[in-house]
Amino acid sequence: MKIWRVLRGILLLSFVSALFAGCGLMGGNAPADIQEAVKTVENRYGITLTIRKKALFPGGATCDVITRCKELPDRDIRVFRFDKSTPVQSDYIYQKYGDEAYDKICSVVHTIYPEALVVVEDSNYNHFTNDWYDGNTSIEDYLLDNQLRVNIALLKVFDEEELLKEYHRMAETLFDAGINSYGLGIYCMKNPDAFDEIKTYDHIPDHQAYEGIPANGVWISANNNYGRIRDYLEDPESSGIAVSHGIPE
């Protein structure tokens, strides 16, 4: 009887292990799977990658490695595949164009609001970009089709009607400059101390580092959290712009 319980435990453990392994939740990073995923990214962008580190995803994944390439020698490039039923993902395009995209967005915003604080966040937690991008993808392509959101903080307060007009003007200005961000927010403040407390970056921050625009100090804001600027401009009345009143006077 005791032997049967031991055998039953072994069988159960083997079944659970096989189940988790099949789901990509145990082990992972087998040499053949890494080679296949890395080669997919190399072919996608016309680059050659060298593996520097692996086994990053908690619990394991089919492939999760950090690489480098001669085209971006100072940048870590992640190659990830959760399991064999999901596509191979990479942050190569973000690593290539992220800082330039941030600078471009800031320069456009500052043509209208020179003193604005600008925070550009990436709604993709890992900066993985669309897998249809390839070696011919340009910075212009990236800015027109991305997961970026533009947050603009102003030490200035409009009434609701004025704010919506300013929002529209900002959206038009960004889009005319070739920027089609996935979300746009304008936050108006009166208190210089609250304004100065906003954490800004000189690049698009990691999702974990981004702290958002603090509600404390915001008097009025206008946001479109999910719609692209192009969609908003095609139909502003139905775009779902949310105006929120913060600290009451």
- pLDDT tens series, the chain, 249 aa: 444 443 344 344 333 344 444 444 456 899 999 999 999 999 999 999 999 998 777 778 999 999 999 999 999 999 999 999 999 999 999 999 999 999 999 999 999 999 999 999 998 889 999 889 999 999 999 999 989 999 999 999 999 999 999 999 999 999 999 999 999 999 999 999 999 999 989 999 987 788 889 888 999 999 998 789 999 999 998 888 999 998 865
DSSP 141-203: HHHHS--EEEEEEES----HHHHHHHHHHHHHHHHHTT---EEEEEEEE--HHHHHTS---SS
pTM across the whole model: 0.85
Whole-angstrom distance, CA of residue 170 vs CA of residue 46: 36
Burial environment of residue 132 by CB neighbours within 10 A (0 to 12, 13 to 18, 19 or more): exposed
Q: Which residues contact 211 (CB under 8 A, 6 or more apart)?
A: 199
- For the chain, domain boundaries: 2-90, 97-245
Distance of alpha carbon 124 from alpha carbon 132, whole angstroms: 16
Q: How far apart are CA 173 and CA 106, in angstroms?
A: 12
